[in-house]
Each structure stands twice: as C-alpha cells, then as structure tokens.
C-alpha cells in the first residue's frame, strides 16, 4: 500500500476530535495504522496505540512515538433563542472566532445529530458599548446553525461539543491549510514513519501513540507512558514557523527543516543521537530552543513513573490555533523519515548510550 500523504492529512483535518471527544479522528488514524501494525488498542483515556513488533529477541526494548490527535474546540454553555453560547476547549484567541465554520455535535435527540454552524458576532446594537469596534470577548459570540429555535432545542443541549469545520485547502508549494494541523500533521509524520518501518528491519518494538487530551494539558500522554512503559519516547508536535504577525524563537521557514527541540524536556543523549542520525542521512534539521518547556506531551511523558527519556521533533506551522493553520508536506515527510531512520538504526543495547555525562 502506497501512502497518499496529502489525502491522509486532508482526511484527518476533515475529522472532529476536540480533547476528550477524539472518537472521529481516532477511527481515521486506526484505519491508517492498522495495516502497518501487529496490534492496535485504545488506552483508558482514549489514546490510540499501534504496536509494531521488532525483530530483536525478547524481552525487546520499546520506543514510544507520541503525537497528539486531539483538537482545540468549543462547547455549548447555553441556548438563547436558537443561538448557542459556548466556552472553549483548549486555547483559542477569541479574535479568530467571528465567521468561523463549525460543527455542533448535538446529543439531545435519541440519534446524535451533527449540525453545521457558524460563529457569529452579534450586531453592535445588541452588545455592550465597546462591542462596536473592540475585539469581542468570547462570552458575547454565538453559534448560528440556521435552524429554527425549536429544532435547535430538539438536537442540542448544554455540554455538546463544537468542532471547527474549515475545509482543507491545498496551497502552493506542497502546503496544506485547515484546522487542527496542530497536531494531525505530526500524526501524518508518524504514519510516514510506520509505513517506512513496515518495509525496513527494526529490532525494537515501536509503540505509535495518537494521544488524547493534549490541548488540555498532556493528559493522554501522561497515562499512556505509564500504560506502555517505553524505554524512551519520541514526541512530535507542531512548532512555530516564520509567519506574518510573528514567529517563535526558531523562525523556521516552511518546507526547509525538521526542528529538534533543545531544552529541559529532552534527554541530551537522545538529542545528540537524533542529530547524528540526521547528519548520517543528510536530513535537514535545526535546533528548536525551548528554554523552559515546549508545551507538548514531552513534558508529561518525561515524568511518567520513574522517568522516561524523551527526544522531541517539530513540524513548522503557521498561524497555530487558528482554523487556517498552514504546513508543508515536505516537513511532514522529512520528519517521518527521520523517525524511521532513527528507529531502524536502534541497536538492542542502545539505552546504554542514553546516559548523563
């Protein structure tokens, strides 16, 4: 099976999956990973684990690859004349919300109903004085489903989840835009790695995990690391690319490099090993400096049980946490390849090299 990476990624960013409600995206990832794995299971808090057994003698060491699959989203807090009031799941700048297309996952009727909707900004006359020109606080925004008030009440109740519904767009230069490329782009890179490893010899067991609830604090990864007990973990998440309006420290160009995190949430020996692999295979990387933490699953995996050594990769992304995030497929492919080469190169006694000076 040849992986159609662009289609795989577009399928994933067409699916809902706000933190705690990852069912739709989990099934898409399961379909992609199942043929590449010996075993697939779902962990207690909803993460998907695909296991590829290595060729080494038992007991084999194992590496966890973690990429979170959950998305930021919204949740219904009230219904007012058929309009929905809402709160956030994860961090959303309310300034990006007016005019966004969403899906309301209504659970009030016997059969759940997905309702297309749009976040709307009420007219100035219905807002407090500063509503005319200032940024509107989220509490004043509404979701309009186009349905009549009675229909809305029939299908929707307080607590229902609202996901972003921006359609995927193919941009120039192998770029894709849409919602939740944070972090489906990284999940796609894991798929690339699994696909490459399916054609390669590897001694280690590979535990690919699409983690849940990262956007609310690394919850899935925290318990997955305990459930899996890997010898070490590779975490992959998106990082800030150079973009109009501001970039992070790295200022990474799209389509050029795979950032490798350097900070407190990576083991220096693993970091060096990853850099060595990149050099050996002429894979273009750059250090992504995270002076405190990188704000990813790495933070929680690292302190699971008695501690797990972590190395972290990134995929440069523009406009993080907006529904028009942009990534380059080149970066997805390169990150997948780097992970595959790294894992394929692991000797059974590799952990003896993961030591402090």
**Which positions touch other proteins (CB under 8 A)?**
80-81, 83, 91-101, 115-116, 118, 120-123, 125-128, 131, 133-136, 140, 142, 144-148, 151, 166-167, 169-175, 177, 240, 243-248, 253-255, 295, 318-326, 328
According to DSSP, the β-strands at 205-211 and 62-68 are parallel
Rounded CA separation 256/133 (Å): 40
Residue 126 Cβ vs other proteins, minimum distance, rounded to whole Å: 5
Is 214 among the catalytic positions?
yes
Give whole-number Cα distances, 332 to 183, 199, 316, in Å: 11, 19, 9
Nearest residue (CB) to other proteins, 59 versus 245: 245
Nearest residue (CB) to other proteins, 26 versus 179: 179
Residue 221, H or E segment: helix 219-228
CB atoms within 10 A of CB 29: 27
Residue 150 Cβ vs other proteins, minimum distance, rounded to whole Å: 11
Nearest residue (CB) to other proteins, 295 versus 345: 295
With 0-12 CB in 10 A as exposed, 13-18 as middle and 19+ as buried, what is 150?
exposed
DSSP string, 251-268: -BPTTT-EEEEEETTS-H
Structure tokens at 350: 């590799």
Nearest residue (CB) to other proteins, 231 versus 253: 253
**CA angle, 14 as apex, 13 and 16 as ends, to 5°?**
90
* Conformational region of residue 313, where left means phi above 0, alpha means psi within -120 to 50, and beta covers everything else: beta
Rounded CA separation 9/30 (Å): 14
Rounded CA separation 18/28 (Å): 15
Residue 328 Cβ vs other proteins, minimum distance, rounded to whole Å: 6
Structure tokens at 176: 């894709």
Residue 264 Cβ vs other proteins, minimum distance, rounded to whole Å: 17
Residue 112 Cβ vs other proteins, minimum distance, rounded to whole Å: 17
Nearest residue (CB) to other proteins, 268 versus 295: 295
Residue 23, H or E segment: helix 23-33
Q: State the catalytic residue, choosing from 58, 167, 170, 214.
A: 214
Nearest residue (CB) to other proteins, 127 versus 275: 127
Residue 261 Cβ vs other proteins, minimum distance, rounded to whole Å: 15
Residue 151, H or E segment: helix 149-155
* Residues involved in catalysis: 214
């Amino acid at each position: 099976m040849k992986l159609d990476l662009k289609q795989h990624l577009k399928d994933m960013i067409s699916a809902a999956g706000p933190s705690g409600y990852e069912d739709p995206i989990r099934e898409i990832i399961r379909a992609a990973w199942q043929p590449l794995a010996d075993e697939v299971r779902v962990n207690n808090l909803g993460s998907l684990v695909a296991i590829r057994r290595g060729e080494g003698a038992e007991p084999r060491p194992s590496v966890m690859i973690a990429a979170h699959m959950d998305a930021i989203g919204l949740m219904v807090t009230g219904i007012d004349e058929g309009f929905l009031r809402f709160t956030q799941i994860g961090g959303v700048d309310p300034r990006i919300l007016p005019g966004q297309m969403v899906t309301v996952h209504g659970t009030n009727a016997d059969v759940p109903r997905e309702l297309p909707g749009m976040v709307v900004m009420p007219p100035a006359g219905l807002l407090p004085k500063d509503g005319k020109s200032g940024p509107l606080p989220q509490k004043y925004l509404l979701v309009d489903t186009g349905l009549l008030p009675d229909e809305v009440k029939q299908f929707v109740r307080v607590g229902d989840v609202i996901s972003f519904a921006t359609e995927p767009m193919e941009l120039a230069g192998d770029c894709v835009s849409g919602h939740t490329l944070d972090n489906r782009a990284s999940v796609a890179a894991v798929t690339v790695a699994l696909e490459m490893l399916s054609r390669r010899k590897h001694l280690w067991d590979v535990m690919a995990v699409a983690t849940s609830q990262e956007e609310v604090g690394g919850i899935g990864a925290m318990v997955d690391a305990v459930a899996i007990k890997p010898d070490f973990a590779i975490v992959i998440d998106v990082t800030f690319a150079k973009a109009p309006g501001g970039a992070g420290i790295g200022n990474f160009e799209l389509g050029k490099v795979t950032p490798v995190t350097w900070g407190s949430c990576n083991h220096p020996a693993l970091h060096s090993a990853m850099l060595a692999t990149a050099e050996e295979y002429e894979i273009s990387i750059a250090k992504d400096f995270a002076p405190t933490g990188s704000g990813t699953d790495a933070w929680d995996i690292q302190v699971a049980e008695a501690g797990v050594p972590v190395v972290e990769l990134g995929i440069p992304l523009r406009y993080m946490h907006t529904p028009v995030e942009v990534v380059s497929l080149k970066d997805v492919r390169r990150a997948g390849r780097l992970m595959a080469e790294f894992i394929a190169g692991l000797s059974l006694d590799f952990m003896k090299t993961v030591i402090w000076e």
